[in-house]
Chains A and B, each alone.
Chain A
Amino acid sequence: MKPTAANRPVVRAPAGPPLNDGHRHQGALKHWAPGYAGQVKDLGRPWVLAKHPALFLKRAAVFGFGRARRRASTARASAPGLRGGLLWLALLSLAGGCTESPAERITFEVRARSEGPPALTQGEATLTLTRAALTVSAIYLCASSTASIDLCSEARGEMLPAVVVDALDPNPIRIGEGEGFEGRRGGQGDRVLRSAQLSYGVQWLLTAARPALAPGAQASLHLEGSLETATTLQRVNWRLEVAPTAPGRSTAAVTFAPAVLRRDAVLTLVLTPAAWLAQLDLASLAERGEDEVALEPDSPAHSALVQALTSSAPPRFEFR
């Protein structure tokens, strides 16, 4: 046990220097800057030269061969230059095993689509949805096998704005654009995605006393429809706020088959509204209320919907 405060802003990481300022930007894209030759660089780290051979070679030329030119008038002019060059070559060879090409900053399309029927039947009771609006926000794509505030300290891709998604539309609909670093499979410096964190329009910043709706969000989930039994027909109109349970946390985490983020990648969130309803006790719900089915906070039905979104039936992430 070691309760420790974590820091994960749900705001965009700085778009320029200073880099690696010592603060922990959990889950946010880190070291995000227009860098050398248009590529991302990480000047705050000692191994930056190993990660960026172009910069390394440039410095080798300046400090090694430049010194040689300055001494060209002496009889032994070539020796220092050769020495400097060889020294840099030697150091380059030492770093060779750790060299990897830098990741490039890219954008990718994010879509959403519904899967499965918009209804659930239990015995004689059927709950049919006519509207299912899910707010998704603060999507962070992670390299770790489990997405978490600790294990995914540096996201490799993200889409931060809150977006309301029609969870009954089976057609893939573009919901926004994500940003990230181009991935690569295999070899040293493998850059593969394995998990993601996301929220449902409610964020809890470390500096806040309680969770709050993200800008542009009205609710996490808005369901409309009807609950019909052999003898009753009741209206369903539920609005839920699904919040993180502690400051700095995301609301849900998902894992998926290893995927590579490419320039032309499309991330599709597959939503399964029938699975959200699966743990509801429809007969019990039908007894609560007359014209409209009530959904009290923290009731088993409310908890079942929240737990479906956060554990048993969160969006499925598909990459193309």
Chain B
Amino acid sequence: MISTLGHRTTLTLSLMLASPTNLLGGCSSDTSSGRATVILEPESTITDGIRVAEMAPGDGWSVTFERYLVALGPVSIGRDAGAPRRELDKEVTIYDLAQTPSSGDEIGRFDGLEAGRWGYFGFRTPAASEGIVAGPGVSADFVERMTASGLTYVIEGEISAASGQRCPPGRDGCCEASEGAVSVRFSLDMPNDTEYGPCESDEGGLEGFAVPQNGSVTLAASIHGDHMFFDSCPEGIELVDRRAQWLANADLDCSGEVTADELRDIPASDLFPASLYSFAGCPIPVTTAYDWLKTQLHTQGHFQSEGECTKTPL
């Protein structure tokens, strides 16, 4: 193309390209105004539960979540990883993901964004503290409960099996004399302060997002719900099976409900046989069942449904 131009034109173009301004680098960007709408998106495993067929072969448990409270905020964006970040104008809020449509709920907008590539998207799931507010359908009691204990999650639900047993470690025999239909409730109060970001989209693996000229883009802070049943820590690609027998066996007092306090008392090696579980690459060291739940919760934040984020336990 350049060879078809006249010498003067080509020379001028060359000089323009080689100008000191150009040497300083920097690419011009469109200054048109764009918008990013931020949504909070629960994985369908939270809203719809997990069927037996979606668990590891032979596990036999299904999962339903009645309440899946998470503290979220701030959400931030930046032109690139090192650039100043803009935070979403929104208080740190407790949302109930079990009551959120699986398509997501809008939680705020960034207006007046330059069109082009924005290299950073991130969000935090903090420990609840003074000033945190209740999202849709979240009662003041839960705000108080989460704030008092510095919780990030309150996860309540049930696992059920058509033919199962609870066999807590250190007990002679199982809670049930034989296998049969059984359900176990769980009520898990968990601190889990985690910074997610930079995040990359699932398609293409590029960090951040693109703002179209005079247009809008939707940014989903996605929370997965099934990691507590994984048999290894997901590292990028989720090469895992889901298993819930460990949670049934964690019912130490055979009361029919498992709490986070019970998990603190159980060595991980009593619930997670080495032939089925791998702790390699988990965000925090695992020595108890509580550690296992905590480390898995640290991996739940995603971007645009399945996109990966760098996860930093705080």
Residues of A within 8 A of B (CB): 1-4, 6, 76, 79-80, 82-83, 86-87, 89-91, 93-94, 96-97, 145-151, 197, 242, 244-246, 249-253, 278-279, 281, 297-298, 300-304, 306-307, 310-313
When A and B form their complex, what is the total count of cross-chain residue pairs whose Cβ atoms lie within 8 Å? 148
Q: Are B232 and A90 in contact (CB under 8 A)?
A: no
Instruction: Pick from B2, B22, B232, B267: contact of A304, CB below 8 A.
Output: B267
- Smallest distance from the beta carbon of B270 to chain A beta carbons, Å? 5
Q: Are A298 and B278 in contact (CB under 8 A)?
A: no
Chain B, 22-37, CB within 8 A of any chain A CB: 22-23, 25-26
Q: Does B91 contact A (CB under 8 A)?
A: no
Q: Are B14 and A301 in contact (CB under 8 A)?
A: no
Stretch at the interface among B153-161, B212-220, B236-244: B236-244
Question: 9 pairs across A/B with beta carbons < 8 Å?
Answer: A3-B238, A83-B11, A90-B16, A146-B235, A148-B281, A245-B231, A298-B273, A311-B280, A311-B285
Q: Are B270 and A97 in contact (CB under 8 A)?
A: no
CA distance A79 to B6 in the complex (A): 11
Q: Are B278 and A249 in contact (CB under 8 A)?
A: yes
Instruction: Pick from B23, B240, B282: contact of A93, CB below 8 A.
Output: B23
Q: Does B110 contact A (CB under 8 A)?
A: no
Q: Are B22 and A90 in contact (CB under 8 A)?
A: yes
A87 proximity list for chain B (CB < 8 A): 2, 10, 14, 17
Q: Are B275 and A151 in contact (CB under 8 A)?
A: no
CA distance A87 to B13 in the complex (A): 8
Q: Are A300 and B270 in contact (CB under 8 A)?
A: yes
Q: Does B283 contact A (CB under 8 A)?
A: yes
Chain B, 182-196, CB within 8 A of any chain A CB: none
CA distance A242 to B169 in the complex (A): 23
CA distance A198 to B236 in the complex (A): 17
Q: Does B18 contact A (CB under 8 A)?
A: yes
CA distance A249 to B279 in the complex (A): 12
Quick one: given A93-B23, A311-B279, are A150 and B267 in contact (CB under 8 Å)?
no
- Smallest distance from the beta carbon of B249 to chain A beta carbons, Å? 12
B277 proximity list for chain A (CB < 8 A): 245, 303
Q: Apart from A150-B237, A151-B236, A306-B274, what 11 extra A-B contacts exist at CB < 8 Å?
A: A79-B11, A86-B14, A87-B17, A97-B25, A146-B235, A146-B310, A246-B232, A302-B274, A307-B279, A311-B279, A311-B282
Q: Are A6 and B269 in contact (CB under 8 A)?
A: no
B240 proximity list for chain A (CB < 8 A): 1, 3
Chain B, 272-308, CB within 8 A of any chain A CB: 272-283, 285-287, 306, 308
Which of A97, A249, A302, A303 counts the most B-chain CB atoms under 10 A from its CB? A303
Q: Are A307 and B272 in contact (CB under 8 A)?
A: yes
Q: Are B14 and A83 in contact (CB under 8 A)?
A: yes
CA distance A96 to B21 in the complex (A): 12
Q: Are B306 and A303 in contact (CB under 8 A)?
A: no
Which 9 pairs, one residue from A and one from B, show the smallest C-beta to C-beta distance?
A150-B236, A148-B235, A90-B17, A311-B279, A253-B281, A86-B14, A304-B269, A97-B25, A306-B274
B17 proximity list for chain A (CB < 8 A): 86-87, 90-91, 93-94
B285 proximity list for chain A (CB < 8 A): 311-313
Q: Are A2 and B270 in contact (CB under 8 A)?
A: no
CA distance A82 to B18 in the complex (A): 13
CA distance A2 to B308 in the complex (A): 12
Q: Does B171 contact A (CB under 8 A)?
A: no
Q: Are B237 and A90 in contact (CB under 8 A)?
A: no
CA distance A93 to B15 in the complex (A): 11
CA distance A278 to B238 in the complex (A): 30
B254 proximity list for chain A (CB < 8 A): none
Chain B, 143-191, CB within 8 A of any chain A CB: 169
CA distance A193 to B269 in the complex (A): 31
- Smallest distance from the beta carbon of A177 to chain B beta carbons, Å? 25
Q: Are B14 and A300 in contact (CB under 8 A)?
A: no
Q: Are A94 and B22 in contact (CB under 8 A)?
A: yes
Q: Are A93 and B278 in contact (CB under 8 A)?
A: no
CA distance A250 to B280 in the complex (A): 8
Quick one: given A4-B237, A311-B286, are A86 and B280 in contact (CB under 8 Å)?
no
- Smallest distance from the beta carbon of B277 to chain A beta carbons, Å? 7
Q: Are B283 and A146 in contact (CB under 8 A)?
A: yes
